[in-house]
C-alpha cells in the first residue's frame, strides 16, 4: 500500500479547513468457495483497495471514500464532500470527539498455515470432506450448503492528531446450512465458525466430524422430538444460546449510539437509557464483557477505527449495568472516555459503535451440575430461529437441539421449544453460569449502508429459573 | 481509455489465456448520503467507485472477481492470478453456459434523470424540508437518510452480448418519533427527481407516530392483520428470494416442489419486473447481458415459474427468465397486483384486527416449510368494528409464509414502491389484509 496517499488525503482535507480528519487506507484479499449439494459453485477471488476519509468541517462530520487511488480524483472527491458537509453544518448535530491519546502502532495476527500458500483445490477439499462425512451417516440430507471464505486485511489509519496505526489481520469463516428429511418432514440447522488467523483455524475444528454430529443430532430431534412442556420450568441453555442472548440483549442495547438515537431509523434504539448506568438489570450471577483484544478472535483488534486503544469492556458487573460501548463521539456526548468500540467493515464505510467479542463470564460449576439442579425443565443446547425487537426488549429463541430434563437427568429430545422473553426477565432469572466457556462467531448487521462485521459471542451454559416457554405458532 | 475498449481488451486477454466463457462488466458509481438523527444531520457520506467485474469460466471452473486497477501491468498480473486460481479450482458439473447474443435492448422509461445527477448540496435542503415537515406534523424528533446516486454499467461477453445502461436513484427513509414508544416509519424512492417526495414521506411517518401514542400491551392470539406496504414488502421480499432456483435447490425456499400448485389466495398475482418504469432496480439487462423482462411468479394464487439464468434454465429444461445473478438468479422488482378496495374501505370492513405499519428482524425456523417470525415495529393499531381503537405494542408475528399468502383476504387499490433498510429487494405493493395471523409475545 502507498501510505503516502493516505497522508496526502489527510493533509488535503486539513488544507480545506477541516478541524479534524482521519484516513483509513485499506487492502483486502478475499477468497470464497461454495459447495451446494456436492457441487462447487462459482469461487470468489477479490483484491479490494481504497481509502475512506472522515473530517469535521464547520462542526459537521463528513465521510468520503474512493477506490480510484489517484491524487487528482482523491482531491476532487474531498472537495465535493467538504462542500456538502459545510452546508450540512447549518442543521448538524454539533458533534465533538472525546480527547484521547494518539497512538502509533503496528500489529497483526500470525498464520500457522498461510492462506496464501494453499490452492483453491486445497481449500475446497475441506468442504468435500464434509460431504463425505455426511454421506457416511446414511441420514437423508437433501440440502447441504457450505460456504468458506478467507480474508486478509491490511489497514493504515492516520489522523490529524498524529495517530498512525498499521494492522494486518487474516480471518477465516465457514458457514453450513443443512436440511434433514424424514418422510417429508424436514428440520434445518445452520451455524457459522470464524476466527482471526490462518487456515489452521479451519483444519483444527475438524469440520467433517462436527457436521456429522450436527446431522445425527438434527435427525434425532426431527424423528424423536416431543412437544415442549407448557408449565413454568427451569431451562439450561448451552453456550451457543448464551452467546446469541448476550449479543442481542446486552451487546446491542449497550451501544451508546443507540442510546443516543443515532441508529433510530435503521438498527433501532434501545430500552436502555443513560441514567440506567449503575442500576440492576440481572442477577448477581451475571457478568458480561465485550473484549476486542481476545487473541485470534473473529472480532479482534488492538486499536479501533478512531485510533483508540482497545480494552475489555465490563458491560454488566454482578448484575449491574456498568458501562456502554463507546466511540469518541458518543463518549463526548456522555462526557466520558471512549472504550475503543469504533469499527467500520471496510474503507468505504463510516466507523460507528460496534461490538467485538461479547460474552458471559464463566462460573465454577460444570454444565452437568447446572442440569443436576433442575427437577423438571429443558436443556436447549442450540437454536435455529431467533429475533429481538429494535429496542432490544423482547427476544425469541427457538431451539434446534433440546432435551427434557427430569430429576437432574437429560431425557428425551424436545422439538423446537421457544423461549420468548423480555431482556430484564431473562437476566434476572439466571441463577448460575457454568465453566464450559465457548466462543462462537457471527456477522453482525448495523448501519446504512449495511455493515456486516465479524464478531464472536459466547459464554458458558446458563441456568434460567422458572420460565414459561412460548408458543411456536 | 473508453470502458468499451478496456472491456474488449480484458475479454481478449482472458480468452487468450485459456478462458472459455467470459463476462466483463465495467461499473461506475457516485453516491452520496445525508444521515440525520434527533432531527439534526449526523454525518454526510459520499462514495466514488469504478471497477471491472469479471466472470471467467475455464473448463467448467467458475471464478468471479473484480479488477480495480486498470493499468497495463496490474491487469496483466490480475489475469495471471485469476487464471491460476481458476485452473486450480474444481469444475461445476451443473454449469451449462451463458446466454448467446447479440440482443436488442429497449429503453426503460424513468430510470435516469440528470436532475438527480446535479442534486449535490440541494440534498441538504431536501433533508431539512423533510425534518421540518415531520416536526410540523407532530414529530418530536426524526431520524433517517437521504441518498442519491448515479451509476453506469457496460457489459461485454464472449457470447456476443454487449450493452450499456445508466441509472439514477434517490432514496429517503424517515422514522419519526412522537415519544419514545410512539413512532412511524416511511420510505420513498424514485429514479427521477419529480417523483421523489421526502417531505410527504416525513408527514406520513409523523402522522403514524402521533397516532401511536400511549400504546397498550398487546395480547397473544390470532388476528386479522392489515399489513401496510412497508411490512408486506418485507414478506414479499422473502417470497421473491424463495423464487430463485438457487434457493429452491438449496432448501432456502418454501416454494420448492410447488410449480403449478396453489401457494397463495386466488386474489394474489405476483410478478418480478426488471423493466418497470421508475422501478428502483429496473435495468436493461441481467448479469449475462440478457434483456430483462416481466415474469409472472404467482398467477391467481398458483406458482408459475422460478427465476433462472441461462445455466440453471438449461439444467432444468426451461428458458432463462433473464434474472442472472451468475451464482444465484435474483429478482429485480417484485410487484403485487393491486385489488379493488382502498385502505379505509378495508379497515371499515374489519371487525377485530390489527394494522401493522412496519416489521423487522424476519427469521425462519425452517425455510422449507416457511415457518418464521417477524416483529412489528413502529405504530401498530387495534381495530374494532371498522375503526382504530388504539395503539398496541410488544407483539411478534409467529406464523408461516405460505399460510399468510394463502390467507390473503383483501388487497388494497393503491400500490407503494418500497425499498429500504429491511427491504433490499424493491417491492411494489398495496396494503394487504390477511386473516388469522398468529401473534405471540414474551411470556416473562
Is A2 an interface residue toward B (CB < 8 Å)? no
Is B70 an interface residue toward A (CB < 8 Å)? no
Q: Are strands B371-376 and B396-400 parallel, antiparallel or unpaired?
A: antiparallel
Q: Is residue A128 a part of any domain in this protein?
A: yes
pLDDT level of residue A95 (50, 70, 90 thresholds)? confident
List the domain range (segments joined by +) for residue B275: 215-440
Half-sphere exposure of A70 (CA within 13 A, CB side): 11
Q: For residue A303, what are the β-bridge partners?
A: A309
Task: Find residues 258-317 of chain B whose CB sits inside 8 Å of chain A.
Answer: none
- Cell numbers given for A62: 463528513
Provide φ and ψ at B245, rounded to 5°: -60, -30
User: Domain boundary residue among A198, A224, A250?
Assistant: A224
Residue of B nearest to A82 (CA): B44
Is B46 an interface residue toward A (CB < 8 Å)? yes
Q: Is residue A360 a part of any domain in this protein?
A: yes
Q: What is the pLDDT of residue B72?
A: 81
* CB burial readout A417-444, b (16+ within 10 A) else e: bbbbbbbebbbbbbbbbbebbbbbbbeb
> Is the domain of B34 the same as that of B19?
yes
Total domains in chain B come to 2
> Is the domain of B185 the same as that of B251?
no
Higher-confidence residue of A1 and A162: namely A162
- From the list A313, A320, A376, the residue with the least C-alpha distance to A339 is A313
Tell me how close the Cα of B23 comes to any Cα of chain A, in angstroms. Answer: 13
Task: Find residues 65-124 of chain A whose CB sits inside 8 Å of chain B.
Answer: 65-68, 73, 77, 80-81, 83-85, 87-93, 95, 119-121, 124
Q: What is the pLDDT of residue B71?
A: 79
Which of A32, A35, A43 to mutate to test binding with chain B, by most B CBs within 10 Å of its CB? Answer: A43
Is B373 an interface residue toward A (CB < 8 Å)? yes
Check pLDDT > 80 for residue A330. Answer: yes
pLDDT in tens, A7-59: 999 999 999 999 999 999 999 999 999 999 999 998 998 889 999 999 999 99
A179 contacts B444? CB cut-off 8 A:
no
How do the pLDDT tens digits run along chain B, 444 residues long?
688 999 999 999 999 999 999 999 999 999 999 999 999 999 999 999 999 999 999 999 999 999 888 778 888 888 998 998 898 888 999 999 999 999 999 999 999 999 999 998 899 999 999 999 999 999 999 999 999 999 999 999 999 999 999 999 999 999 999 999 999 999 999 999 999 999 999 999 999 999 999 999 999 999 999 999 999 999 999 999 999 999 999 999 999 999 999 999 999 999 999 999 999 999 999 999 999 999 999 999 999 999 999 999 999 999 999 999 999 999 999 999 999 999 999 999 999 999 999 999 999 999 999 999 999 999 999 999 999 999 999 999 999 999 999 999 999 999 999 999 999 999 999 999 999 999 999 987
> Is the domain of A172 the same as that of A206?
yes
Q: What is the pLDDT of residue A472?
A: 61
pLDDT level of residue A239 (50, 70, 90 thresholds)? very high
> Is the domain of B224 the same as that of B197?
no
> Is the domain of B273 the same as that of B182?
no
> Is the domain of B354 the same as that of B407?
yes
Complete DSSP assignment for A370-428: HHHT-SEEEEE--EEEEEE-TTS-EEEEEESSEEEEETTEEEEEB---EEEEEHHHHHH
Is A61 an interface residue toward B (CB < 8 Å)? yes
Task: Find residues 404-463 of chain A whose CB sits inside 8 Å of chain B.
Answer: 416, 418, 420-422, 425-426, 429, 448-450
Task: Decide: residue B340, CB within 10 A, 0-12 exposed, 13-18 middle, 19+ buried.
Answer: exposed
Instruction: Return the residue matching grid coordinates 378496495.
Output: B341
Is A398 an interface residue toward B (CB < 8 Å)? yes
Task: Find residues 403-442 of chain B whose CB sits inside 8 Å of chain A.
Answer: 421, 424, 438, 440-442
Is B68 an interface residue toward A (CB < 8 Å)? yes
> Is the domain of A266 the same as that of A412?
yes
Calculate ∠ Cα A427-A380-B219, nearest 5°.
60
Q: Which residues contact B190 (CB under 8 A, 6 or more apart)?
A: B169, B170, B196, B197, B278, B280, B417
A40 contacts B91? CB cut-off 8 A:
yes
A350 contacts B45? CB cut-off 8 A:
yes
Residue of B nearest to A91 (CA): B40
B42 contacts A61? CB cut-off 8 A:
yes
Q: Are strands A394-399 and A418-422 parallel, antiparallel or unpaired?
A: antiparallel
- From the list A460, A437, A419, A433, the residue with the least C-alpha distance to A284 is A433
> At A6, which helix (H) or strand (E)?
helix A3-15
Encode chain B in three state secondary structure.
CCHHHHHHHHHHHHHHCCCCCEEEEEEEEEEEEEEEECCEEEEEEEEEEEEEEEEEEECCEEEEEEECCCCHHHHHHHHHHHHHHHHCCCCCCCCCCCCCCCCCCCCCCCCCCHHHHCCCCHHHHHHHHHHHHHHHCCCCEEEEEEEEEEEEEEEEECCCCEEEEEEEEEEEEEEEEEECCEEEEEEEEECCHHHCCHHHHHHHHHHHHHHCCCCEECCCEEEEEEECHHHHHHHHHHHHHHCEHHHHHCCCCCCCCCCCCECCCCCCCEEEECCCCCCCCCCCECCCCCECCEEEEEECCEECCCECCHHHHHHCCCCCCCCCCCCCCCCCCEEECCCCECHHHHHHCCCEEEEECCEEEEEEEECCCCEEEEEECCCEEEEECCEEEEEEECCEEEEEHHHHHHCEEEEECCCEEECCCCCCCCEEECCEEEEEEEEECCCC
User: Domain boundary residue among A197, A224, A251?
Assistant: A224
Q: Which residues contact B98 (CB under 8 A, 6 or more apart)?
A: B21, B23, B55, B57, B157, B158, B159, B161, B288, B310, B311, B324
Mean pLDDT confidence for A285-313: 98
User: Domain boundary residue among B190, B210, B230?
Assistant: B210
Check pLDDT > 70 for residue A287. Answer: yes
User: Domain boundary residue among A160, A194, A224?
Assistant: A224
> Is the domain of A147 the same as that of A168?
yes
> Is the domain of B310 the same as that of B392?
yes
Q: Are strands B416-418 and B427-429 parallel, antiparallel or unpaired?
A: antiparallel
Report the CATH number that the domain containing residue A125 is assigned in CATH: 3.30.2290.10
Q: Which of A43, A467, A471 sits opposite B63 (nearest CB)?
A: A43
Q: Are strands B162-179 and B408-411 parallel, antiparallel or unpaired?
A: unpaired
Q: Which residues contact A446 (CB under 8 A, 6 or more apart)?
A: A263, A266, A267, A352, A354, A453
> Is the domain of A75 the same as that of A145?
yes
First to last CA, chain B: 65
> Is the domain of A296 the same as that of A429?
yes
User: Domain boundary residue among B210, B241, B260?
Assistant: B210
> Is the domain of A438 the same as that of A392?
yes
> Is the domain of B403 the same as that of B325?
yes
A188 contacts B443? CB cut-off 8 A:
no
- A449 prior amide bond cis, ω within 30: yes
Q: What is the rounded distance in angstroms from the CA atom of residue A460 to the CA atom of residue A364?
A: 10
Q: Are strands B427-429 and B334-336 parallel, antiparallel or unpaired?
A: parallel
Is B360 an interface residue toward A (CB < 8 Å)? yes
Q: Are strands B40-58 and A60-66 parallel, antiparallel or unpaired?
A: parallel
Total domains in chain A come to 2
Is B82 an interface residue toward A (CB < 8 Å)? yes
Q: Which of B371, B398, B421 sits opposite A266 (nearest CB)?
A: B421
Q: How many CB atoms lie within 10 A of CB A136?
A: 11
Question: Taking CB atoms and an 8 Å cutoff, what residues of chain A touch B374?
Answer: 387
Q: What is the rounded distance in angstroms from the CA atom of residue A296 to the CA atom of residue B91?
A: 33
Is B64 an interface residue toward A (CB < 8 Å)? yes
CB-CB contact of A351 with A55 (8 Å): no
B43 contacts A61? CB cut-off 8 A:
yes
A88 contacts B124? CB cut-off 8 A:
yes
Tell me how close the Cα of A453 comes to any Cα of chain B, in angstroms. Answer: 16
A179 contacts B368? CB cut-off 8 A:
yes
A266 contacts B41? CB cut-off 8 A:
no
A37 contacts B371? CB cut-off 8 A:
no
Q: What is the rounded distance in angstroms from the CA atom of residue A416 to the CA atom of residue A229?
A: 11
- From the list A144, A126, A124, A122, the residue with the least C-alpha distance to A135 is A144
> Is the domain of A26 the same as that of A46?
yes
- From the list B94, B96, B20, the residue with the least C-alpha distance to B56 is B20
- Cell numbers given for A43: 469461487
Q: For residue A379, what are the β-bridge partners?
A: A236, A403
Q: What is the rounded distance in angstroms from the CA atom of residue B249 to the CA atom of residue B239?
A: 15
- Cell numbers given for B381: 393499531
Task: Decide: residue A39, CB within 10 A, 0-12 exposed, 13-18 middle, 19+ buried.
Answer: middle
- A303: helix, strand or coil: strand
- Cell numbers given for A97: 470527539
Calculate ∠ Cα B114-B335-B175, nearest 5°.
70
A77 contacts B94? CB cut-off 8 A:
no
Residue of A nearest to B363 (CA): A385
Q: Decide: pTM greater than 0.90.
A: yes
> Is the domain of B193 the same as that of B293?
no
Report the CATH number that the domain containing residue B9 is assigned in CATH: 3.30.2290.10
Question: Taking CB atoms and an 8 Å cutoff, what residues of chain B touch A189?
Answer: none
> At A60, which helix (H) or strand (E)?
strand A60-66
Task: Enter the DSSP assignment of A310.
Answer: P
Q: Which of A46, A83, A422 sits opposite B442 (nearest CB)?
A: A422
> Is the domain of B43 the same as that of B126?
yes
- A165 prior amide bond cis, ω within 30: no
Is B172 an interface residue toward A (CB < 8 Å)? no
Q: What is the rounded distance in angstroms from the CA atom of residue B371 to the CA atom of residue B399?
A: 6
> Is the domain of B360 the same as that of B424?
yes
Which of B27, B46, B222, B326 to mutate to test binding with chain A, by most A CBs within 10 Å of its CB? Answer: B46
Q: Which of A84, A264, A386 sits opposite B32 (nearest CB)?
A: A84
> Is the domain of A203 the same as that of A272?
no
- A348: helix, strand or coil: coil
Q: What is the pLDDT of residue B1?
A: 62
> Is the domain of A215 the same as that of A240?
no
> Is the domain of B353 the same as that of B274?
yes
Q: How many CB atoms lie within 10 A of CB A462?
A: 29
List the domain range (segments joined by +) for residue A215: 3-224
Which of B90, B93, B326 to mutate to test binding with chain A, by most A CBs within 10 Å of its CB? Answer: B90
CB-CB contact of A37 with A181 (8 Å): no
Question: Taking CB atoms and an 8 Å cutoff, what residues of chain A touch B175?
Answer: 264-265
Provide φ and ψ at A451, rounded to 5°: -120, 105
Check pLDDT > 80 for residue A473. Answer: no
- From the list A401, A457, A469, the residue with the least C-alpha distance to A429 is A469
Which of B1, B21, B33, B44 to mutate to test binding with chain A, by most A CBs within 10 Å of its CB? Answer: B44
Task: Enter the DSSP assignment of A271.
Answer: S
B207: left (phi over 0), alpha (psi -120 to 50) or beta: alpha
> Is the domain of B191 the same as that of B222?
no
Q: What is the pLDDT of residue A347?
A: 98
Question: Taking CB atoms and an 8 Å cutoff, what residues of chain A touch B141?
Answer: 261
User: Domain boundary residue among B181, B210, B239?
Assistant: B210
> Is the domain of A25 the same as that of A144?
yes
Q: Which of A89, A120, A420 sits opposite B89 (nearest CB)?
A: A120
- Cell numbers given for B129: 424540508
Q: Is residue A75 a part of any domain in this protein?
A: yes
Question: Taking CB atoms and an 8 Å cutoff, what residues of chain B touch A425?
Answer: 442, 444
> Is the domain of A241 the same as that of A206?
no
- From the list B231, B128, B227, B131, the residue with the least C-alpha distance to B177 is B131
In order of A207, B186, B421, the CA distances from A445 in angstroms are 26, 21, 11
Q: What is the rounded distance in angstroms from the CA atom of residue B14 to the CA atom of residue B75?
A: 10
Is B444 an interface residue toward A (CB < 8 Å)? yes
> Is the domain of A237 the same as that of A217?
no
B249 contacts A36? CB cut-off 8 A:
yes
Instruction: Return the residue matching grid coordinates 449475462.
Output: B288
Q: Which of B143, B438, B443 sits opposite A264 (nearest CB)?
A: B143
Task: Decide: residue B2, CB within 10 A, 0-12 exposed, 13-18 middle, 19+ buried.
Answer: exposed
Report H helices in A137-271: 200-203, 207-224, 239-246, 256-259
Task: Find residues 452-471 of chain A whose CB sits inside 8 Å of chain B.
Answer: 467-471
Is B51 an interface residue toward A (CB < 8 Å)? yes
Amino acid at each position: 500500500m502507498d501510505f503516502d496517499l493516505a497522508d496526502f488525503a489527510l493533509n488535503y482535507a486539513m488544507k480545506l479547513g477541516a478541524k479534524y480528519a482521519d484516513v483509513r487506507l485499506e487492502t483486502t484479499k478475499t477468497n470464497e468457495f461454495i459447495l451446494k449439494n456436492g457441487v462447487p459453485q462459482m469461487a470468489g477471488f477479490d483484491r479490494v483497495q481504497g481509502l475512506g476519509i472522515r473530517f469535521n468541517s464547520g462542526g459537521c462530520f463528513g465521510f468520503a471514500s474512493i477506490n480510484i487511488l489517484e491524487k487528482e480524483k482523491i482531491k476532487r472527491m474531498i472537495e465535493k464532500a467538504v462542500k456538502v458537509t459545510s452546508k450540512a453544518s447549518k442543521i448538524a448535530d454539533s458533534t465533538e470527539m472525546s480527547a484521547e491519546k494518539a497512538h502509533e502502532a503496528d500489529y497483526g495476527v500470525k498464520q500457522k498455515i498461510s492462506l496464501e500458500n494453499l490452492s483453491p483445490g486445497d481449500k475446497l477439499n475441506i468442504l468435500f470432506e464434509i460431504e463425505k462425512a455426511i454421506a457416511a451417516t446414511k441420514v437423508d440430507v437433501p440440502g447441504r450448503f457450505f460456504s468458506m471464505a478467507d480474508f486478509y486485511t491490511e489497514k493504515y489509519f492516520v489522523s490529524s492528531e498524529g495517530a498512525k496505526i498499521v494492522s494486518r489481520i487474516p480471518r477465516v469463516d465457514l458457514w453450513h446450512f443443512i436440511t434433514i428429511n424424514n418422510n417429508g418432514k424436514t428440520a434445518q440447522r445452520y451455524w457459522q465458525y470464524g476466527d482471526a488467523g490462518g487456515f489452521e483455524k479451519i483444519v483444527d475444528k475438524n469440520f467433517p466430524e462436527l457436521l456429522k454430529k450436527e446431522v445425527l443430532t438434527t435427525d434425532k430431534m426431527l424423528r424423536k422430538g416431543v412437544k415442549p412442556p407448557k408449565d413454568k420450568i427451569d431451562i439450561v441453555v448451552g453456550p451457543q444460546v448464551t452467546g446469541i442472548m448476550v449479543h442481542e440483549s446486552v451487546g446491542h442495547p449497550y451501544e451508546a449510539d443507540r442510546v443516543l438515537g443515532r441508529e433510530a431509523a435503521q438498527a433501532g434504539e434501545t430500552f436502555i437509557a443513560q441514567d440506567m448506568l449503575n442500576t440492576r438489570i440481572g442477577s448477581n450471577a451475571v457478568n458480561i464483557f465485550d473484549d476486542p483484544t481476545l487473541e485470534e478472535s473473529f472480532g479482534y483488534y488492538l486499536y479501533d477505527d478512531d485510533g483508540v486503544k482497545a480494552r475489555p469492556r465490563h458491560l454488566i458487573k454482578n448484575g449491574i449495568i456498568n458501562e456502554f460501548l463507546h466511540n469518541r463521539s458518543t463518549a463526548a456526548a456522555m462526557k466520558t472516555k471512549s472504550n475503543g468500540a469504533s469499527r467500520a467493515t471496510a474503507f468505504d464505510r463510516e466507523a460507528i459503535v460496534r461490538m467485538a467479542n461479547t460474552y458471559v463470564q464463566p462460573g465454577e460449576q460444570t454444565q452437568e451440575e447446572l442440569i443436576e439442579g433442575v427437577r423438571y425443565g429443558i436443556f436447549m443446547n442450540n437454536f435455529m430461529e431467533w429475533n429481538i425487537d429494535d429496542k432490544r426488549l423482547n427476544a425469541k429463541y427457538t431451539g434446534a437441539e433440546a432435551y427434557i430434563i427430569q430429576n437432574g437427568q437429560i431425557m428425551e429430545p424436545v422439538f423446537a421449544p421457544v423461549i420468548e422473553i423480555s431482556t430484564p426477565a431473562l437476566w434476572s432469572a439466571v441463577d448460575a453460569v457454568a465453566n464450559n466457556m465457548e466462543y462462537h462467531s457471527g456477522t453482525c448487521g448495523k448501519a446504512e449502508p449495511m455493515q456486516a462485521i465479524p464478531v464472536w459471542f459466547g459464554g458458558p451454559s446458563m441456568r434460567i429459573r422458572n420460565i414459561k416457554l412460548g408458543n411456536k405458532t | 481509455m473508453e470502458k468499451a475498449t478496456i472491456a474488449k481488451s480484458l475479454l481478449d486477454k482472458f480468452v487468450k489465456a485459456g478462458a472459455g466463457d467470459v463476462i466483463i462488466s465495467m461499473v461506475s458509481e457516485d453516491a452520496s448520503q445525508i444521515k440525520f438523527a434527533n432531527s439534526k444531520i449526523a454525518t454526510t457520506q459520499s462514495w466514488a467507485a469504478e471497477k471491472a467485474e469479471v466472470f471467467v469460466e475455464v473448463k467448467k471452473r467458475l471464478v468471479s472477481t473484480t479488477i480495480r486497477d486498470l493499468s497495463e501491468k496490474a491487469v496483466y498480473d490480475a489475469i495471471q492470478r485469476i487464471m491460476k486460481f481458476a485452473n486450480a479450482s474444481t469444475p461445476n458439473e451443473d454449469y451449462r453456459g451463458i446466454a448467446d447474443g447479440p440482443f436488442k435492448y429497449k429503453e426503460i422509461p424513468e430510470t435516469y434523470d440528470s436532475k438527480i445527477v446535479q442534486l449535490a448540496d440541494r440534498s441538504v435542503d431536501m433533508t431539512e424540508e423533510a425534518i421540518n415537515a415531520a416536526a410540523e406534523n407532530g414529530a418530536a424528533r426524526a431520524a433517517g437518510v437521504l441518498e442519491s446516486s448515479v451509476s453506469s454499467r457496460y457489459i461485454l461477453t464472449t457470447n456476443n452480448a454487449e450493452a450499456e445502461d445508466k441509472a439514477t436513484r434517490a432514496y429517503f427513509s424517515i422514522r419519526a418519533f412522537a415519544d419514545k414508544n410512539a413512532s412511524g416509519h416511511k420510505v420513498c424512492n424514485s429514479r427521477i427527481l419529480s417523483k421523489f417526495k421526502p417531505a410527504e414521506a416525513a408527514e406520513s411517518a409523523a402522522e403514524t407516530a402521533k397516532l401511536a401514542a400511549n400504546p397498550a400491551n398487546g395480547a397473544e392470539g390470532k388476528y386479522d392483520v392489515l399489513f401496510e406496504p412497508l411490512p408486506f414488502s418485507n414478506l414479499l421480499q422473502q417470497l421473491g428470494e424463495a423464487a430463485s432456483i438457487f434457493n429452491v435447490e438449496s432448501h432456502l425456499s418454501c416454494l420448492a416442489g410447488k410449480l403449478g400448485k396453489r401457494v397463495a389466495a386466488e386474489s394474489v398475482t405476483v410478478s418480478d419486473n426488471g423493466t418497470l418504469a421508475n422501478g428502483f432496480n429496473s435495468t436493461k439487462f441481467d448479469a449475462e447481458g440478457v434483456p430483462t423482462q416481466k415474469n409472472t411468479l404467482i398467477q391467481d394464487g398458483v406458482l408459475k415459474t422460478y427465476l433462472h439464468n441461462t445455466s440453471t434454465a438449461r439444467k432444468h429444461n426451461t428458458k432463462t427468465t433473464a434474472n442472472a445473478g451468475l451464482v444465484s438468479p435474483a429478482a429485480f422488482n417484485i410487484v403485487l397486483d393491486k385489488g379493488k378496495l382502498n385502505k379505509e374501505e378495508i379497515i371499515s370492513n374489519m371487525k377485530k384486527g390489527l394494522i401493522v405499519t412496519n416489521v423487522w428482524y424476519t427469521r425462519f425456523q425452517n425455510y422449507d416449510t416457511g415457518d418464521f417470525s417477524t416483529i412489528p415495529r413502529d405504530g401498530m393499531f387495534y381495530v374494532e368494528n371498522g375503526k382504530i381503537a388504539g395503539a398496541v405494542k410488544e407483539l411478534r408475528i409467529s406464523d408461516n409464509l405460505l399460510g399468510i399468502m394463502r390467507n390473503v383476504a383483501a388487497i388494497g387499490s393503491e400500490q407503494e414502491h418500497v425499498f429500504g433498510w429491511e427491504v433490499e429487494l424493491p417491492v411494489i405493493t398495496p396494503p394487504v389484509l390477511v386473516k388469522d395471523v398468529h401473534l405471540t409475545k414474551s411470556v416473562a
